[in-house]
Amino acid sequence: MFFIHFLEHVLTLHPSFFGSHVKEYLSQKLLDDVEGICTGDYYIVCVMDMYDISEGKIIPGSGLAEYTIVYRAIVWKPFKGETVRDRDKKHFFIYFGGLFSASS
């Protein structure tokens, strides 16, 4: 079943990316890091939008900045007994992330 969730993700940013385009870089890095991954409970299908990007906090000793981003995403959480139907070209094996089934 598909849901819309508000989620939070922490990103670290190298000082070479500090500047006027830091928000665009953080947006792209968020998409690269979280879209299409399985968290163990659900799959993040798509990031819809970002609601809050915190002020960067400098990590002592490294110079990296840490940002916390609150975003809204469409997630898919399979439930026990839920049927997922698909067919590949050979009609034999279906792979779906961490799920696997053999069909004939």
pLDDT in tens, 5-38: 999 999 999 998 888 899 899 999 999 999 988 8
Give the CATH number for residue 13. Answer: 3.30.1490.120
Phi, psi of 79 (to 5 degrees): -105, 155
Q: Number of structural domains, the chain?
A: 1
DSSP H or E stretch at residue 6? strand 2-13
Q: What is the pLDDT of residues 46-93, one digit of tens each?
A: 999 998 999 999 999 998 999 999 999 999 888 777 766 666 565 555
User: Quick one: pLDDT band at residue 101, thresholds 50, 70, 90?
Assistant: very low
Q: Give bridge partners of residue 4 from the DSSP assignment.
A: 74
In this predicted structure, what is the pLDDT of residue 47?
94
Domain extent for 28: 2-102
